[in-house]
């Protein structure tokens, strides 16, 4: 394998992505592994360029981590096939390309927002009020992960969520 003079490192999955904002355009088979690394290493911010393919196994994870999406346009207009691609007869990915600003912290923010929305729709704790991980008793419903509490039909949210 030849050395790329513009590359930051040889194996991008082996280095720390928290040192700076990671700008990632991985090969399609490595997109899932990149998202897994972002979750495991708790990467603060990264920009990930991917095809806008809704039916991929990694798409729900990408959506959960995404802070902002920029539509880059059709792949044949923004990507240039390299010498290696041409030699092997490979083609560019079909469809549109997107740049996603992603953060592992976004998962926590979205989970808290979903719990708050769900808690606000549940006016009374009962069978129909579905908040996962909840502990219920006669007049109270307490969700431990998000610290939302129903006490006698009144919603109380701890200070750190406000």
Q: Which neighbouring-strand residues pair with 142?
A: 135, 149
Q: What is the mean pLDDT of residues 138-152?
A: 38
What share of the chain in percent tops pLDDT 90? 30
Q: How many CB atoms lie within 10 A of CB 25?
A: 13
Q: In this structure, what are the phi and psi dihedrals at residue 36, rounded to the nearest 5 degrees?
A: -65, -40
pTM: 0.61
Helix (H) or strand (E) holding 114: helix 105-121
CA atoms within 13 A on the CB side of 73: 4
Per-residue pLDDT reduced to its tens digit, 110-142: 565 665 565 555 544 444 444 444 433 333 333
The pLDDT assigned to 161 comes to: 36
Q: Are strands 22-24 and 46-51 parallel, antiparallel or unpaired?
A: parallel
Is residue 33 a contact partner of residue 57, using CB atoms and an 8 Å limit? no
Is residue 119 a contact partner of residue 131, using CB atoms and an 8 Å limit? yes
């Amino acid at each position: 394998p030849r050395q790329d003079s513009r590359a930051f490192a040889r194996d991008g999955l082996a280095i720390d992505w928290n040192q700076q904002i990671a700008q990632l355009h991985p090969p399609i088979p490595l997109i899932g592994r990149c998202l897994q690394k972002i979750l495991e290493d708790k990467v603060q911010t990264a920009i990930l360029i991917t095809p806008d393919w809704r039916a991929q196994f990694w798409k729900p994870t990408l959506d959960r981590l995404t802070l902002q999406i920029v539509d880059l346009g059709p792949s044949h207009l923004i990507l240039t096939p390299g010498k290696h691609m041409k030699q092997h007869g490979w083609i560019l990915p079909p469809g549109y390309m997107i740049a996603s600003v992603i953060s592992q912290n976004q998962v926590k923010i979205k989970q808290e927002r979903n719990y708050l929305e769900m808690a606000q729709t549940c006016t009374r704790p009962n069978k129909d009020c579905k908040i996962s991980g909840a502990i219920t008793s006669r007049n109270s419903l307490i969700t431990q992960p998000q610290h939302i509490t129903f006490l006698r039909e009144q919603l109380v949210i701890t200070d750190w969520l406000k």
